[in-house]
Amino acid sequence: MRIAYLDCFSGISGDMFLGALVDAGVPFELLQKAVADLNIGATLELSRVTRAGISAAKIDVLVHGKKDMPREEFWAQRQRELQSPHPSEQSHSDHPKHGRSLSEILGLISAASISAHAKQTASDIFSALGRVEAKIHNVDLDKIHFHEVGAEDAIVDIVGAAVGCEALNVQQFVCSPLNVGSGTVACEHGMLPIPAPATLELLRGAPVYSGEVEKELVTPTGAAIVKVLVSSFRSRPPMTMDAIGYGAGTRDFPRHPNVLRLSIGETIEDVVQPGESSHGAVTEEIAILEANLDDLNPQLIGYITEVAISQGALDVFTAAVQMKKNRPGTLLTILTRPQDEVRLTELIFRESSTLGVRVRHEKRYVLPRRHEFVITPWGDVRMKIAGVNGSALQYAPEYEDCKRIASQHDVPLKTVMQEAIRRYLDQKNE
């Protein structure tokens, strides 16, 4: 499985995430175009900086030619302006008192010239922010105005994150425990303990800790990105990496690299001990979740399948069954790793009409897998290869790579797949 792993040893913010995406290979021009298409007077600036000895990509958002600033500096400046006997008219015009409503922001995202999937991701992130703001301030969701995160730079960060994540073409985001920082942070309503209330609520259920840095390391925008994108929190899983990116934060702390590290690669199956199986296949334990569905809209079954895969399911399939009272039904089966069993069981209960889920654990044999790239006339394609001792017992081109190429170059999908296989066999026989 192709995954993205977030190392949040110095927290996460929207601009750090964008920098890590670009450093890991997402074209900066792709993000620039998405931002320009928002038509809110914003642009992106890319530079190379060093944070405690680590070189990283730094993304700055410019709104009408002005760089964004850390929110605590912004609110400290606003407090000084409000206390001044002659507040700056320019400052007040640049930052409307009531901010943007959630519906206004979702409208901007809906009108953007980005894919439907990226629009959904960006909308989900802002909706997550809206729900926690409504809860914290005890107001209806439709009355929320984003004073803290509704400025143009946050909209840019979130839309850029959605577009960049889609370009990574990963199946799952995994995250380390998050260093949230410590101390206090200046907000609209005064000084608040770190993590701020919105950040803490968004990170409910995620492992967090405070290190020696007395600054806000996880912003509400960064926390919302994590909440929507990340499917599990754990130490780095066994994986082979083909891209690593570092995104820089604004501050440069002594002896503490203020960067977010993003690793892209393929997960590795457990290594087989000599003599464990005569055929050299990997053995692993899996959980099998089953539910009988006889009164559910088939469209919802398709949705459950998509969400389960995005949340780490190894496989999802259905079968037609005949149920009691001669009613036709559907048997839904999800294969997953034991650590994801509870989360996917909750998904079935939440999204389907079933009253029970059957669970059993079984052992399965899996051939070790790896990827190799082949070069076609239209672009690179990953070949998924399964075998032992260097042999290739099974091989096939990655469907998503072939689908993307076929769509971009208006070439029949079967032609792309056949050409990828031919190139792989020629390369193998050289």
Look at 66-70, 117-121, 414-418 and tell me which has the smallest mean pLDDT: 66-70
pLDDT recorded at residue 123: 92
Residue 355 shares a structural domain with residue 395: no
CA pair distance 14, 362, nearest whole angstrom = 41
Average pLDDT over every residue of 161-170: 93
Residue 77 shares a structural domain with residue 113: yes
The CATH number covering residue 402 comes to: 3.10.20.300
Residue 250 shares a structural domain with residue 335: no
- The tens digit of pLDDT for each residue in 347-376 reads 999 999 999 999 999 988 877 777 788 889
Better pLDDT: 124 or 185: 124
Residue 35 shares a structural domain with residue 62: yes
List of E strands, 111-258: 145-146, 172-175, 178-179, 184-187, 190-193, 208-209, 230-233, 239-248
Burial of 285 from C-beta contacts in 10 A (0-12 / 13-18 / 19+): exposed
Task: Single out the residue in 349, 366, 383 at which a domain terminates.
Answer: 366
Q: Does residue 277 lie within any of the structural domains?
A: no
What is the chain's mean pLDDT, rounded?
A: 85
Q: Does residue 274 lie within any of the structural domains?
A: no
CA pair distance 375, 373, nearest whole angstrom = 7
pLDDT recorded at residue 188: 65
Q: Does residue 361 lie within any of the structural domains?
A: yes
Q: Does residue 276 lie within any of the structural domains?
A: no
Rg (CA), the chain: 24
- pLDDT at residue 34 above 50? yes
User: In the structure encoding, which two tokens stand for residue 336, read together?
Assistant: 């997953």
Task: Single out the residue in 236, 267, 298 at which a domain terminates.
Answer: 267
Q: Does residue 175 lie within any of the structural domains?
A: yes
Q: Does residue 132 lie within any of the structural domains?
A: yes
Residue 407 shares a structural domain with residue 300: no
Task: Single out the residue in 347, 366, 385 at which a domain terminates.
Answer: 366
The CATH number covering residue 295 comes to: 3.30.70.1380
Highest mean pLDDT among 82-86, 190-194, 282-286: 190-194
Residue 43 shares a structural domain with residue 162: yes
Q: What DSSP character marks residue 410?
A: T
Residue 93 shares a structural domain with residue 108: yes
CA pair distance 326, 363, nearest whole angstrom = 34
Least Cα distance to 42 among 154, 122, 169, 148 occurs for: 154
Residue 374 shares a structural domain with residue 356: no
Residue 286 shares a structural domain with residue 181: no
pLDDT recorded at residue 95: 43
Residue 360 shares a structural domain with residue 376: no
Following DSSP, what letter does each residue of 102-145 receive, concatenated? Answer: HHHHHHHHHHSSS-HHHHHHHHHHHHHHHHHHHHHHT--GGG-E
Residue 38 shares a structural domain with residue 145: yes
Residue 109 shares a structural domain with residue 133: yes
Note down the domain range covering 42.
2-267
Percent of the chain at pLDDT > 90 equals 49
Q: Does residue 339 lie within any of the structural domains?
A: yes
Average pLDDT over every residue of 247-272: 85
CA pair distance 387, 395, nearest whole angstrom = 9
Domain count, the chain: 3
- The tens digit of pLDDT for each residue in 268-300 reads 753 334 434 445 566 778 899 999 998 888 889
CA contacts within 13 A on the Cβ side of 304: 30
pLDDT recorded at residue 94: 45
- The tens digit of pLDDT for each residue in 302-327 reads 999 989 988 888 899 999 999 888 88
- pLDDT at residue 149 above 50? no
